[in-house]
Structures are given as structure tokens and as C-alpha cells.
Amino acid sequence: MSFKSIVRELWGMRDNFWKKGLDGKNINGRARSHIAPESYISSSLIIVQQSKWANLPSELLLDIIKRVEATETSWPARRDVVACAAVCRSWREITKEVVRTPEQCGWLTFPLSLKQPGPREFPIQCFIKRERVTSTYRLYLGLTPALSGDISKLLLSARKIRRATSTDFVRSNFLGTKFTIYDSQPPSDSSIQSKCRSHRRIHAKQVSPKLPAGNYSMATITYELNVLRTRGPRRMQCNMDSIPLSSIQEGGTAPTPVASSNSFDDHVFPTNRKSVVVSNPNSLNDPIESIYNSESLVLKNKAPRWHEQLQCWCLNFKGRVTVASVKNFQLVAAIEAHHNVPVVEQEKVILQFGKIGKDIFTMDYRYPLSAFQAFAICLSSFDTKPACE
């Protein structure tokens, strides 16, 4: 039996699982209950565990998943790897062992990959689409919409709202000069958890004890005030509270989550989409505090140069940005002499963001940032900043 026929049969089993697990759902996707009863889920898992695919020898199963993972290296073909993890618990455990992190392989596979650091040697290229009417921003994996077309993979989406009720969001002050990135999960590195203050969720409904009741401050983005109203790009600084400075030093590593603490992994298999919400709560009076430590990684925008012929500020985006905009930026590490960071790491562009068309922007990120952190930083650039321009 060919690998394609195996994958097709796996997808059929996955569809049958969801049809049996959901109660009262109609064609439009609306349901009376958003969470399937545990009895339905348990019975469906028992059926899958007793199927012929669940009883394959571990050596054969490992070889099959390795071949699928090695051949399907881009989306949408890479969804076959996700299908292998959705068969049963034994398939899921082996798939998790085979699939490497984005830092190691440069590929995004599971939703957890969006919160893992990118590759060291090359950036992951993405683009963002903006919908002005609904204030919605969508992050896609790919070079540009024209080149990627229908095979673009939706990674994250954000919507600007006045009151935040989601677990992951970006929050700004009244002037739009200071933004704080929140995450529902604490940093995977216990040594830096003390710098990430936990905040109580706003108007959140606790639907399960497995879902955390608070959010953790992951980073703070500050835009410099332009008091003299001088021309030029915005000046910004990002204090990454969840990433230690040692991550870019020789032999250092960035915190890499390996499991999601707010998911239903014990009952439900993973999906391939995650959302994030942007909030600008002008009506809230509580101050936003940043717990910054000198050992945390600090990013600053790369200084542009003045082009005499074009009469404008320029940065080398290597063809990834084609339209001049005050929103365009490149971030590099803010390094002092005593930090002992190699020169190569000091000059490396960790995140770049720029405009290529009407409501279309590119976003390229690399280690030690994750897709979630890079997307949140780019979202702060969309907000209006009268005091910074």
C-alpha cells in the first residue's frame, strides 16, 4: 500500500472521529455545545485504539512516520504529518519524537511550533494581510500572496478590540507608545518566570480547570517619542522578558516549550490553527508594568541610512520590502561590550517587517523569536502613534 493511500485512510478515520465526537452540529458549523461530551470522546478513542493502524509494530510505524515527515516538507502537503499524529495515542507519541522543532529543521508543523524559536541559519518567511473594515490581521506562511497563492498556510490571526477576553493578546497604552505581549502559558524556562508577571484575565469564563486563569507578560515594546517632529522612521525597543540574553551568546539556547498546558491533549487531537487578539483598552485605567531585567534579551530597530539620490531613509530588506512606509523596520540585538556576544550575532537581523502592497506586509523572523512573538511585535507597528511620527 502506498503512502498516499495510507494518509487518505488516516484522514478518513480522523473525519469519522470528529463526526462521532460532535453533538448537534449542523452544516454551517453551529452547535448547541462547543465541547463534545466526554463519553463520546472516550468511546471514539477506544475505537481508534483498537483499529488495525493502532496495532502496527512500533518499528514499522516509526519507519512510516519518518518517511512521511521527510517527504512532506511544505504546506499543504505537510498536513499528512499532522494526520499521522491524529490517528491514536501511539501514533501521536511517535510523531512527536520524529518531528523536530523549527529551530532544528526550519518547518512549522504543529500549533506548538508557533511558540517555538525559529531556525538559526535562515529566517522563516511569512506575510500579513490586513482587513481595514474589521481591523483583522492574518499571518500566512509563504513568500507573498502572488507567489504562494492558494497554498498559503494560515498561521495566526488577530483582531483589534476594546476589551480583551482571549488568552493571548497585545495591549497598548493610550498614546500607543508602549505595548505589552501577554501569553496564557508561563515561560518554559523556570529561571525567567519571576520576570513575567501574571495578570488576571479580563471578563474570562473558566470553562475547564485545565485552562489557566491568568496571563503572563512576555515582552514590552516601547516606541520613542518624537518631540521635535523630525523626519525619519520610528525608533523602537523590545524588552523580551521571556528570552534570556544568554540565548544569543555562544552555546546559549532559547526557551522552547515542548507541551501546551492549556489544551485538551488527553482527549482531543491537535488542530492546525491558533488565534491571537489585539487589544487597545483605552477605558482601562490599570497601568502596564514591564518586569525588565538586564539579563533579558533587548531588541532595537536597525538604524537606516540616508539615500542622497532617493532622498529618503533606506534599509536593505533584500527584496522583501518594496513600498516605503514608516511601519517598516528591522530588529537586531541591543548588545553592550561586556555581553561577550559574537559580532555575527550582533549584526544578524532577527525580525524584519515591511510593506509590499496595499494592506500586504512581509514578516521574516528567526531564532530566538517565535512566530507568536514576531507577529505580536509587528502588530504593534500597525497602531497609530501620533506622538512618535
The pLDDT of residue 307 is 80
Could you tell me if 220 and 289 are in contact, meaning their C-beta atoms sit under 8 angstroms apart? no
Tens-binned pLDDT, residue by residue, of the chain (389 aa): 565 666 566 556 555 544 444 444 444 444 443 444 444 445 555 445 556 777 888 898 899 899 999 988 888 888 899 988 888 888 899 999 999 999 999 999 999 999 999 999 999 999 999 999 999 999 999 877 776 666 678 999 998 887 655 556 788 887 778 899 988 777 666 555 555 555 554 444 544 455 555 678 889 999 888 766 666 677 889 999 989 998 998 888 898 988 755 443 443 333 333 334 444 434 333 333 333 344 899 999 998 888 888 777 788 898 899 888 888 999 999 988 788 888 888 889 999 999 999 999 999 999 999 999 999 999 998 876 655 55
The pLDDT of residue 355 is 93
Cα separation of 262 and 208, whole Å? Answer: 9
The pLDDT of residue 259 is 73
- Give the CA dihedral 91, 94, 100, 102, nearest 10 degrees: 30
- The whole model's pTM is what? 0.76
Amino acid letter for position 40: Y
The pLDDT of residue 363 is 96
271 C-beta neighbours (distance < 10 Å), count: 11
- CA-based angle 382:385:388, to the nearest 5? 125
The pLDDT of residue 368 is 94
The pLDDT of residue 360 is 94
Cα separation of 72 and 69, whole Å? Answer: 6
